[in-house]
Amino acid sequence: MDISCQSVRKTYGAHVALEDVSFGTGFAHTLALVGPSGGGKSTLLRILAGLEIPDHGEVSVDGKAMVFKEAWMHDYRVRVGIVFQGYNLFPHLTAVQNVLLPLQQFHKLTDANQRAIAALDRFRM
């Protein structure tokens, strides 16, 4: 996946989380994002996942500028996922039910059960 940012800025009120972020990854299989606590790593990842909208700048994935409108984001989110640092599972659901939820509700997969079990088996869960 080729990711690039050009002059990306994101603020939360008076707090500047990202200021003039510009980079390009080329086609990378694995990418590490490192920096100090409060350095904007999570904010950048949330923008790349389409969960936040930058105040300024452009983000491109595979040469296509991200359009932060719901219709465009729906098609984009089918290809992109995010695993949060905290435990964001539904505590009243089993592991299989937590994995099944987006596969059934968002992706509308008819083979969701098989995929969920295969994913959990892959990680020996």
Q: What is the per-residue pLDDT across 25-47, written as a single tens digit (0 to 9) for each?
A: 987 777 788 999 889 999 999 99
pLDDT tens-place string over residues 57-79: 999 999 999 999 988 888 888 77
Residue 20 confidence (pLDDT): 97
Query: SS3 for 5-51, per residue?
Result: EEEEEEEECCEEEEEEEEEEEEECCCCCCCCCCCCCHHHHHHHHCCC
Residue reference for tokens 């350095």:
39
Contact 31, 18 (CB under 8 A): no
Task: Round the average pLDDT of the chain to a whole number and report it.
Answer: 89
Tell me, what DSSP letter sits at residue 81? -
pTM of the model: 0.72
Residue 75 confidence (pLDDT): 83
Task: Name every residue whose Cβ is closer than 8 Å to that of residue 120 and which is 6 or more positions away in sequence.
Answer: 95, 96, 99
